[in-house]
């Protein structure tokens, strides 16, 4: 599978899971994974998912505008940069966001999130 197809499949899976079952994201992270969310850092799958589950909204819908990817290093990793809109339930205007994932291969042939950086984009 070419990197762009893989990145799009990952992005579709990640945001679909985020929007419908945030705790289900846990299997995408490992103990060494790190999330930087609006400048706050969290390490380990349990801490990352706890942060995502604690966000002050239950229902949301991501709509993706762009997905860019690059191969990363000899281990077969991949950088994935996403921009889009985040519509919160009950809010009139969507929030713009950017998110970067550093994906690393697993021995089983799939990928996990080694690094995840999320920022809202304020106009």
The pLDDT tens digits of the residues spanning 25-50 come to 999 999 999 999 999 999 999 999 99
- Return the C-alpha torsion angle 29, 31, 33, 39, nearest 10: 110
Cα gap 36→18, rounded to integer Å: 16
Q: What is the mean pLDDT of residues 74-98?
A: 94
Predicted model pTM: 0.94
């Amino acid at each position: 599978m070419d990197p762009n197809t893989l990145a799009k499949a990952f992005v579709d899976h990640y945001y679909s899971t985020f929007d419908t079952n945030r705790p289900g994201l846990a299997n995408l992270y490992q103990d060494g994974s790190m999330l930087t969310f609006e400048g706050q850092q969290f390490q380990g799958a349990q801490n990352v998912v706890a942060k995502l589950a604690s966000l002050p909204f239950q229902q949301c819908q991501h709509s993706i505008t762009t997905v860019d990817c690059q191969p990363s290093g000899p281990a077969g990793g991949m950088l994935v940069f996403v921009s889009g809109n985040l519509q919160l339930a009950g809010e009139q205007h969507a929030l713009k966001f950017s998110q970067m994932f550093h994906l690393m291969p697993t021995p089983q042939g799939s990928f996990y999130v080694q690094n995840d950086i999320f920022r809202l984009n304020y106009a």
